[in-house]
């Protein structure tokens, strides 16, 4: 395929993607396929000779789409949102076209510098303390990781390296293994200090944890993967109070800030803590600017060596939505979750299981776990909407997460009426069976 | 931006990317900017109100492009290739449009199943032993990681978990920390068993290492990040002999197989070794198929939880190039590296520093390291081509890596004439200065 054919096919693909997203509501949100559906539909091995774009293109609807869970359907209420927006898609096309690998400043200066500045923009949007910003001569700064798990791992490894070096300088007779065996990581069952847990969007009390960590010289990492995006709204920023005690902080614009996966934003107060743990300097990666102290080489901030030009997505989204546009998006989702909460509260058969703070509603039928498992099964078997459950203090609970960029009040009403009807049907059978037993 | 505007802007972006790649040769391969160039060109913080696409679009040439190192220029001979092709760009547009997160089979069955089948295709293309394939009921299988570093880390963690459990079952009195303190990882200065090192594309002797690892019950991981793509050509497959002794194997189609970054392919003989180390089962990620043993949940195979639909890129590229088209690409690059090698060998002032096996030529002026450092500096300061150096046994060596998809014999000739002329100029000054001292 040459550039001329790419112009033609690329435009067809733009239309396909636009069609897909415009009409996604008409597709069944969860697929009908059974495990192993795909293998018999494709060849046993790669073709020796090239196939045409048409051959491949027609297989998208035939082979791929029947097995897709439509995360951007307004009937998708499972997990947490995965961000998607047109400006981010455009930026990713540009990112692919440039196709640079930004492991060092010299490998593509724009890739590094835009990232540093965009993380400053984003940090200011959530009103992070100044120590987390890079600005012209700060000690801190931000980096884009692939996921919150990677950010947590990076924080853990940096903390470990820092404390090992400190102990080694005080007690040089100890080996690294001996020190490691004595290190302790304090965590809840959600691991680190978490703002907006996946199960029920609960919040750790940073203002209690923070001072203890600081006093005891414990590295404090805060994971706000989902909730972090909400802190761009002044009325939710108080949930982040206490971040000033942290050493590192992370949230995922690829969840709730309309920046397509992957874009997990991480900040540290002292970039030297990260670089100290991961520094890698083979000759082929060195460049004459690095000794100046003026440049950032992001390979020292992460596990992988290679990295894409992901800050373009942030740049496009932040500019083309503006802070106000993004705030509107967050506020709409939170308004819709409260709409759902109120619908649940009006039905005496149901209960709300956790405070609704952001875009997640945890609810259940009053009754046994088995009853609620059966309700969830009937919801997901009907495939008109899609939800996943969680456990809250031994209780089986249904999670209703407002996810899609295009979800509106009508979808929420439909979802509730549907759930309510399925509950009615279920309770009839359930009571009948129960009566017979 | 709605779908209608995306149709318009998406097509403009397709044309921009096509223009960029079609005319990339005319851009200076390495940028002129100095550290910190970008910050003064952009606002201090994100705008409150939305900006238009035109505003953002015009800033690409104004702010971004002046700071881009053009990895796909046919004058780029630095590092190793980063793959780029039009079919991969199309697939990535589709991947972004679908925007699913494939952490479990249920989260998007197509995303998981296509990946498993594509890794089988790719495994067969390099003629991996059958134990590494998933097929219908294999014990092994492949997974796409973000980078070779992640694959190595995964292998290391899986190996560690496996041996710790084994020792614990034999000596239950030992704590995990005590066992960890006694574990040994054997590595060269390139770490694990490596096929095609970054410095000079050298190859470890798998047929010697492998039997020892097997006998001593040592996990053997093979990293063929760059070289692996060449094994699709029968005449280079012998370089992979000995892979049958390995537990895990990895190479990067995003380097040399025309699949845009990121797409690092990793295979294991026993998928249970990976899953054992990383298994994660909160209720909200469980689905009723997982107990059947029929499905793969890739979240157990990697560090991150989330994952994009990256196998689409493999599917598009393998089908639209065909095995023969990809073999041609590899063979062209290797032919061009030998062309460069011959040009170097004809000039008595130069020497070749390592056997040219694939697409990398390591060469230097006969003389001091300082002389070669000066030569590299004059090459990179001229910015007509771009190279990076390496150290081989204390010697400062220039690496000439054939990188671009569109590089041809004329570019190789130009590069050599340019280097040769700069060497002539340098040697004049050098001898003059040397004479004066």
Tell how strand A221-223 and strand A193-194 pair up. parallel
Q: With bands split at pLDDT 50, 70 and 90, how would you rate the model's confidence at B279?
A: confident
CB contact under 8 A, B113 and A37: yes
The first and second tokens of residue A309, run together, are 């030009």
**Residue of A82, A136, A283 with shortest CB distance to B101:** A82
Report the CATH fold assignment for A100-309: 3.40.640
Q: What is the pLDDT of residues B13-70, one digit of tens each?
A: 999 999 999 999 999 999 999 999 999 999 999 999 999 999 999 999 999 999 999 9
Identify the band that residue A180 occupies on the pLDDT scale cut at 50, 70 and 90: confident
- Distance from the B318 Cα atom to the nearest Cα atom in chain A, whole angstroms: 6
Yes or no, beta carbons of B48 and A323 under 8 Å apart:
yes
Interchain contact, B312 vs A64, CB within 8 Å? yes
Strands of the sheet with B141-145, listed across from one edge: B141-145, B264-268, B248-251, B221-223, B193-194
Strands B141-145 and B264-268: antiparallel
Percent of chain A with pLDDT over 70: 98
- Spatial contact of A408 and A374, defined as CB atoms under 8 Å apart: no
Is A128 in the B-facing interface, judged by CB distances under 8 Å? Answer: no
Residue B187, chain A, CB below 8 Å: the answer is: no
Contacting residues of B for A177, CB less than 8 Å apart:
177, 180-182
CATH superfamily of A3-76: dopa decarboxylase, N-terminal domain (1.20.1340.10)
Please name the member of B31, B46, B308 whose beta carbon is closest to the beta carbon of A261. B308
Q: What is the pLDDT of residue A291?
A: 63
Q: Per residue in A89-106, pLDDT tens?
A: 999 999 999 999 999 999
Residues in chain A: 437
pLDDT, tens digit, 9 for 90 and up, residues B238-267: 999 999 999 999 999 999 999 999 999 999
User: How far, in Å, are A6, A61, A153, A216, B282 from residue A187 at the CA level?
Assistant: 50, 45, 13, 15, 16
What pLDDT does B436 receive?
A: 57
Whether residues A282 and B71 touch (CB distance < 8 A) is answered with no
pLDDT at position A281 is 78
B185 touches chain A (CB under 8 A): no
Q: What is the pLDDT of residue A292?
A: 65
Pairs of CB atoms within 8 A across A/B: 422
- Inspect the interface and report whether the beta carbons of B98 and A20 lie closer than 8 Å: yes
Q: From B246, B262, B287, B285, select the one nearest B101 (Cα to Cα).
A: B285
In angstroms, the separation between the Cα of residue A207 and the nearest Cα of chain B is 28
Whether residue A56 and residue B319 make contact (CB cut-off 8 A), yes or no, is: yes
Phi, psi of A51 (to 5 degrees): -100, 165
The CA distance from A88 to A217, in Å, is 40
A1·B199 Cβ contact <8 A: no
Residue the block writes with tokens 């006093």: A215
- Rounded average pLDDT over A43-63: 98
Residues B404, B70: Cα–Cα separation, whole Å: 10
The reported pLDDT for the residue numbered B292 is: 65
Q: What is the mean pLDDT of residues A231-247?
A: 98
Residues of A in contact with B315 (CB under 8 A): 56
Q: What's the CA dihedral at A170, A176, A182, A183 to 10 degrees?
A: 90
Nearest CA in chain A to B110: A67
Paired with A203 in beta bridges are: A195
B108 with A10: Cβ contact below 8 A: no
Asked if B325 has any chain A CB less than 8 Å from its own CB, the reply is yes
Going by pLDDT thresholds of 50, 70 and 90, the confidence category of residue A239 is very high
CA distance B51 to A118: 16
Residue B178 has a pLDDT of 85
The CATH code for residues A323-436 is 3.90.1150.10
- Chain A closest-CA separation from residue B100 CA (Å): 6
User: Which residues does A99 contact at the CB level (< 8 Å), separation at least 6?
Assistant: B71, B72, B82, B83, B84, B260, B261
Region(s) of chain B under CATH 3.40.640.10: 100-309
CA of A230, closest CA in chain B: separation in Å?
16
* Chain Cα centroid distance, residue B81: 8
Distance from CA of A403 to the nearest CA of B (A): 12
Question: What is the average pLDDT across A173-198?
Answer: 89
CB within 8 A of B289, min separation 6: which ones? Answer: A34, A35, B105, B106, B295
Instruction: State the nearest Cα–Cα gap between B427 and chain A, in angstroms.
Output: 22
The confidence band for B291, taking pLDDT boundaries of 50, 70 and 90, is low
Q: What is the pLDDT of residue A279?
A: 77
Say whether A98 and B31 touch across the interface (CB within 8 A): no
- Per the CB < 8 Å rule, is B10 touching A14? yes
Beta bridge partners of residue A249, listed in sequence order: A222, A267
CB contact under 8 A, A37 and B124: no
Which of A331, A105, A139, A97 has its CA nearest to residue A235?
A331
- DSSP 8-state symbol, A189: T
Q: Distance between CA A85 and CA B424 in Å, rounded?
A: 54
| Fold (topology level) of B322-436 | 3.90.1150
Q: Is A88 on the interface with B (CB under 8 A)?
A: yes
Q: Where is B91: in which H helix or E strand?
A: helix B86-98
- Contact yes or no for B390 and A35 at CB 8 A: no
Beta carbons of B101 and A89 less than 8 Å apart:
no
Using an 8 Å CB-CB cutoff, list chain B residues near A190: none
The arithmetic mean of pLDDT across residues A65-79, rounded, is 98
Report the residue from B107, B283, B294 with minimal CB separation from A391.
Answer: B283
Q: Which of A67, A68, A252, A71 is nearest to A152 (CA)?
A: A252
Tokens found for residue A328: 């509107």
Instruction: Check whether A437 has a pLDDT greater than 60.
Output: no
In this prediction, residues A123-140 reach a mean pLDDT of 96
Choose among B38, B70, B262: nearest Cβ to A113: B38
Give the DSSP per-residue string, A371-412. Answer: HHHHHHHHHHHHTSSB-EEEEETTEEEEEEE---TT--HHHH
Residues of A in contact with B319 (CB under 8 A): 46-47, 50-51, 55-56
- Residue ranges, comma separated, of all CATH 1.20.1340.10 domains in chain A are 3-76
Instruction: Give the least confident one: A41-45, A152-156, B280-284.
Output: B280-284
The answer to whether the Cβ–Cβ distance between B18 and A11 falls below 8 Å is: no
The ipTM is: 0.96
pLDDT of residue B130: 97
Contacts of A378-382 with C-beta under 8 Å, sequence gap 24+, read: A378/A422, A378/A425, A378/A426, A379/A418, A379/A419, A379/A422, A380/A30, A382/A418, A382/A422
* Model pLDDT, residue A293: 67
What integer is the mean pLDDT of B177-201?
Answer: 90
Residue of chain B with shortest Cα separation from A56: B316
Q: Residues B161-173: what's their mean pLDDT?
A: 93
- Chain B residue whose CA is closest to A387: B284
pLDDT at site A435:
62
Q: Which two tokens stand for residue B173?
A: 């009195």
**Contact flag B283-A69 (C-beta cutoff 8 Å):** no
Residues of chain A with CATH 3.90.1150.10: 323-436
pLDDT at A433: 79
Cα distance between residue B246 and residue B236, in whole Å = 19
Q: Which A residues in the span 327-386 are in contact with B, Cβ-Cβ below 8 Å?
A: none
- Quote the crossing angle between the two packed helices A311-345 and A86-98, to the nearest 10°: 150
* Residues near A319 by beta carbon (within 8 Å), at least 6 away in sequence: A87, B46, B47, B50, B51, B55, B56
Q: What's the CATH number for B3-70?
A: 1.20.1340.10
Helix axes B109-125, B311-345, angle to 10 degrees: 30
The dihedral of CA B32, B36, B42, B48: what is its sign? positive
Residue-wise DSSP of B242-295:
TGGG-SEEEE-HHHHSS--SS-EEEEES-HHHHHHHH----GGG--TTGGGT--
d(CA A245, CA A213): 8
pLDDT digits (tens, 9 = 90+) for A247-297: 999 999 999 999 999 999 999 999 999 887 777 778 888 887 876 667 899
Task: Indicate where chain B has its CATH 3.90.1150.10 domain(s).
Answer: 322-436
Q: Could you give phi then psi for residue A337, rounded to 5 degrees? A: -70, -35
Q: What is the pLDDT of residue B310?
A: 98
Contacts of B284 in chain A (CB under 8 A): 79, 198-199, 388-390, 399
Sequential DSSP letters for B112-180: HHHHHHHHHHHHHHTT--GGG--TTT-S-EEEEES-HHHHHHHHHHHHHHHHHHHHHHH-TTS-HHHHH
| Mean pLDDT value across residues A286-314 | 87
Residue-averaged pLDDT of chain A? 95
């Amino acid at each position: 395929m040459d550039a001329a054919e790419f112009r033609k096919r690329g435009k067809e693909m733009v239309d396909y993607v636009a069609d897909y997203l415009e009409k996604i509501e008409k597709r069944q949100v969860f697929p009908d396929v059974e495990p192993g559906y795909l293998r018999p539909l494709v060849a046993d091995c790669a073709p020796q000779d090239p196939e045409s774009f048409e051959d491949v293109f027609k297989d998208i609807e035939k082979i791929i789409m029947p097995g897709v869970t439509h995360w951007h359907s307004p009937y998708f209420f499972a997990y947490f949102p995965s961000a998607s927006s047109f400006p981010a898609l455009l930026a990713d096309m540009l990112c692919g076209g440039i196709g640079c690998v930004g492991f060092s400043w010299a490998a593509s200066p724009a890739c590094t510098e835009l990232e540093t500045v965009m993380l400053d923009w984003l940090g200011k949007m959530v009103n992070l303390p100044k120590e987390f910003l890079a600005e012209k001569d700060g000690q801190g700064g931000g980096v884009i990781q692939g996921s919150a798990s990677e950010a947590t791992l990076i924080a853990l490894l940096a903390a470990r390296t820092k404390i090992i070096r400190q102990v080694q300088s005080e007690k040089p007779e100890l080996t690294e293994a001996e020190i490691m065996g004595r290190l302790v990581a304090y965590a809840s069952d959600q691991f680190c200090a978490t703002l907006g847990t996946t199960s029920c969007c609960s919040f750790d009390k940073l203002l209690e944890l923070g001072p203890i960590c600081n006093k005891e010289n414990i590295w404090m990492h805060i994971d706000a993967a989902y909730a972090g995006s909400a802190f761009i709204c002044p009325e939710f920023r108080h949930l982040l109070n206490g971040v000033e005690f942290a050493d590192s902080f992370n949230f995922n614009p690829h969840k709730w800030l309309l920046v397509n996966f992957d874009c997990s934003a991480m900040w540290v107060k002292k970039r030297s803590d990260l670089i100290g743990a991961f520094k890698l300097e083979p000759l082929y990666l060195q460049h004459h600017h690095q000794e100046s102290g003026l440049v950032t080489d992001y390979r020292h901030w992460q596990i992988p060596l290679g990295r894409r030009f992901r800050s373009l997505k942030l740049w496009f989204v932040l500019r083309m939505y503006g802070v106000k546009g993004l705030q509107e998006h967050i506020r709409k989702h939170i308004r819709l979750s409260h709409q759902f909460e109120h619908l649940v509260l009006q039905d005496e058969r149901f209960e709300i299981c956790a405070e609704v703070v952001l875009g997640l509603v945890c609810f259940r039928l009053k009754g046994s776990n088995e009853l609620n498992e059966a309700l969830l099964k009937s919801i997901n078997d009907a495939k008109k909407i899609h939800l996943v459950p969680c456990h809250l203090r031994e209780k089986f609970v249904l999670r209703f997460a407002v996810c899609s960029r295009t979800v509106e009040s009508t979808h929420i009403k439909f979802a509730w009426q549907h759930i309510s009807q399925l509950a009615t049907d279920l309770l009839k059978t359930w009571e009948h069976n129960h009566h017979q037993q």
